[in-house]
Structure 1
Amino acid sequence: MTGTTLTGTIWHSRIDDAPVAMAAAGGLVAIGGAGGTAWVLDASDGRPTATLTLPGGLLDLAFSPDGVHLALTGPLGYALWTAATGHTLVVETTRWSARARWAAPDRVAVADGRTVAVLGVDGRELWRTAPAPSTVTDLVWLRDGRRLALTAYNGVRCHERHRPDPVAAYTYTGSHLAIAASPNGRWLCTGNQDASIHIWRTRDATELTMSGYPGKVSRLAFDDTGRWLAADGAPEVTVWDFAGKGPRGSSPRMLRAHDGVTALAWRPGATATLATGGAEGTLAVWDATAGTPGRSRTTRTRWELDDQVTALTWGGRDRLLAATSDGAVRCLAPGT
């Protein structure tokens, strides 16, 4: 099926690169291409409004909560773009910058090699973490932006604002590829190269490992309630239930729609609705609470796209944005 004939299509656009990241806020959608160019589109109709470039390529991008500023990260540095002026401030380094995460409309953290730099919207550095044991692979804010957690080799380090040295450390030997935190900060989870998810309860550092995945776990995310954790690492998307005392001794819900999971995105709010994308070009939307733990199930809300799904995000509760490796960008109304 082509992008213009998919059921529920609101608009269909295209960029001149392979998309690797996407974000939406403030009536705008940003799509980052592997080559380093980011396209900014009007969220209402997909019309291009701006382009900007990060030299050396692009890995991640993130809008500030109000959609006024956009942070970009890549293999050779990072950049900040302002929607109102179109101004782009590029900070070129020789260090790998894997992620950007906003703590508030005026403050963003960017991975910068083995450290994380926290910047104001003018690019001024507010503070920086002490070096981690290896390159920072992912980061997340806790406690409404008062605490920063980052992951690198051998575990997670937590920093309070303006304090370079960590105030807490959670150790698990190996390469950590992704981090997720429940909104209330009770749980920290990492997806790992050794095909596992490692979990810490932050109040007492109680640990739990979910192992046995067929492949590395490089994508995981909590929904807005903090009850459900979705992860890749298998043909099925696994969804763990963190209600009560957490998932110890339980089995996950298993959502089967793809040959390989390439993207995950929770719908905003307390909906437990999850969008997933696959290597073969499938796009699916799920009620993550349905089904029986430990058993695989499929979904009726499914689209067949023209190429691998490389990025997903929600433009509010009613619009799902999907990008595929051929440069196509679609805005869909899931209708669920």
Structure 2
Amino acid sequence: MSITASDQALSAAWEFTLDDAPVALSARGDLVAVAGADGTVRVLTEGAEMGALELPGGALSTQLAPDAQHLMVTGPTGYALWRRADGRTTARETGAWSSAAAWANRERVAVASGRRALVLDADGAELWATEPAASTVTDLAWMRDGRRLAVAAYGAVRCHERHTARPVVTYPYLGSHLTLAVAPTGRWICSGNQDASIHIWRARDGDELTMSGYPEKVARLAFDDTGFWLAADGAPDVTVWDFSGKGPAGTAPRSLRCHETITALAWRPGGAGHLASGGDDGTVALWRATAGRSESRLRPVRTLEGEAAVAALAWAGPHLLIVCYRDGLVRAHRLPLREAL
């Protein structure tokens, strides 16, 4: 890893090596959870392992609760819930593809389970479930402070109020959704799609817009904390769209060029416009991603060069960037100043 001794803004706080290829990462409070492809999940604090769990059949995603007291892990054959207080793991081998999970708050978590979304309490008991979608649920997200659940499956994004199996609002789109991003303001719902597009709905009235022309499928979308900026892959450039005002219709994105293939995106908490991106060449780039004007082509403020492809990125608060590499290395980089990169 290329870091000069004088570069205190990116000093390594700790390292950990996983004996598997990492596939998912989550960071909340003082905890970092790293899932390996074989289904082993390590729970770390300050770089030391404090817990572990196994999900039979492998892992696809991992999500820590907002208070870092629980962890949900999903995989091809089911899901598992880990409790920090006593290390207890509750595993459910449902036989259904579970690609995603999202915490509404510290008490409720939604899990994709085949063609349905399940909503569970913090002990793993099922509270309610959506009716089956037309195909496998690929992603989900909470809106309105956990009062509404958006569920993506082929052909539509469907929104459910609490305890409503049938959707209360349906946003149709004839395509395969790979990822879902909801603005923190609740104003916009966006899907990244297999057909190399981003589809956008304005939540209040369903007004929609498609941004097409990407050379590759769009598998990663992320809103910053303000809800005004959306970062996307789908090309060698990271594209950053401006959702302030009336939204991105009729505008061009900022382009961030560093990677041949983008493998991870993560906004720094706090709304400063700082973005971290990772590539299959092992590079981590740090950007002032909202600088310049529409159509600007930006260069990274700093880069870190690794020896293996970047598997995942996550911020553990505004001052600590967690990087997972496909060779199993997990490294935490410390950024002491909110304004600095």
TM range (shorter): over 0.9
Aligned partner of 1:145 in structure 2 is 146
Aligned partner of 2:200 in structure 1 is 199
Query: Is 2:234 the counterpart of 1:237?
Result: no
1:41-120 residue pairs with structure 2 within 5 A?
Answer: 41-42=44-45, 44=46, 46-120=47-121
Supply the distance in 1 between the matched residues of 2:185 and 2:144 (Cα, whole angstroms). Answer: 7
Aligned partner of 2:35 in structure 1 is 32
Supply the distance in 2 between the matched residues of 1:213 and 1:2 (Cα, whole angstroms). Answer: 32
Query: Is 2:323 the counterpart of 1:322?
Result: yes
Aligned partner of 2:157 in structure 1 is 156
Aligned partner of 1:307 in structure 2 is 308
Name the CA shift for 1:243/1:120 in 2 (closer, same or farther; >3 Å).
same
SS in 2 for 1:62: strand
Supply the distance in 2 between the matched residues of 1:32 and 1:291 (Cα, whole angstroms). Answer: 37
- Residue 204 of structure 1: CA displacement? 1.2
Supply the distance in 2 between the matched residues of 1:120 and 1:24 (Cα, whole angstroms). Answer: 20
Name the CA shift for 1:310/1:3 in 2 (closer, same or farther; >3 Å).
farther
SS in 2 for 1:174: coil
Structure 1 letter corresponding to 2:14: W
Aligned partner of 1:169 in structure 2 is 170
Structure 1 letter corresponding to 2:65: S
Query: Is 2:124 the counterpart of 1:123?
Result: yes
1:3, 1:330 within 8 Å by CA — same for their partners in 2? no
| Stretch deviating more after TM superposition (288-297 or 163-172) | 288-297
Unpaired stretches in structure 1, ≥5 consecutive residues = none
1:3, 1:12 within 8 Å by CA — same for their partners in 2? no
SS in 1 for 2:319: coil
Supply the distance in 2 between the matched residues of 1:57 and 1:102 (Cα, whole angstroms). Answer: 21
Supply the distance in 2 between the matched residues of 1:119 and 1:4 (Cα, whole angstroms). Answer: 46
Structure 1 letter corresponding to 2:113: D
Name the CA shift for 1:4/1:306 in 2 (closer, same or farther; >3 Å).
farther
Write the deviation string for residues 183-242 of structure 1: whole angstroms up to 9, x where unpaired: 121100000000000000111111100000010000001111000000000000000000
- Residue 105 of structure 1: CA displacement? 0.2
Q: Give identity over the alignment, percent.
A: 57
Name the CA shift for 1:215/1:124 in 2 (closer, same or farther; >3 Å).
same
2:129, 2:165 within 8 Å by CA — same for their partners in 1? yes
Supply the distance in 2 between the matched residues of 1:11 and 1:260 (Cα, whole angstroms). Answer: 27
- Residue 296 of structure 1: CA displacement? 2.2
Supply the distance in 2 between the matched residues of 1:75 and 1:235 (Cα, whole angstroms). Answer: 29
Unpaired stretches in structure 2, ≥5 consecutive residues = none
Supply the distance in 1 between the matched residues of 2:3 and 2:98 (Cα, whole angstroms). Answer: 33
- Residue 121 of structure 1: CA displacement? 1.1
- Residue 2 of structure 1: CA displacement? 6.3
- Residue 287 of structure 1: CA displacement? 1.1
Structure 2 letter corresponding to 1:307: A
Please report the RMSD computed on the Cα atoms of aligned residues, expressed in angstroms. 1.4
SS in 2 for 1:56: coil
SS in 1 for 2:104: strand
- Residue 306 of structure 1: CA displacement? 1.2
Structure 2 letter corresponding to 1:127: W
Write the deviation string for residues 108-157 of structure 1: whole angstroms up to 9, x where unpaired: 00000000000011111000001111000000000000000010101200
1:220-259 residue pairs with structure 2 within 5 A?
Answer: 220-259=221-260
SS in 2 for 1:144: helix
Query: Is 2:12 the counterpart of 1:9?
Result: yes
Supply the distance in 1 between the matched residues of 2:156 and 2:20 (Cα, whole angstroms). Answer: 34
- Residue 58 of structure 1: CA displacement? 0.0
Aligned length: 334
Aligned partner of 1:18 in structure 2 is 21
Aligned partner of 1:188 in structure 2 is 189
Supply the distance in 1 between the matched residues of 2:38 and 2:279 (Cα, whole angstroms). Answer: 22
Name the CA shift for 1:290/1:3 in 2 (closer, same or farther; >3 Å).
closer
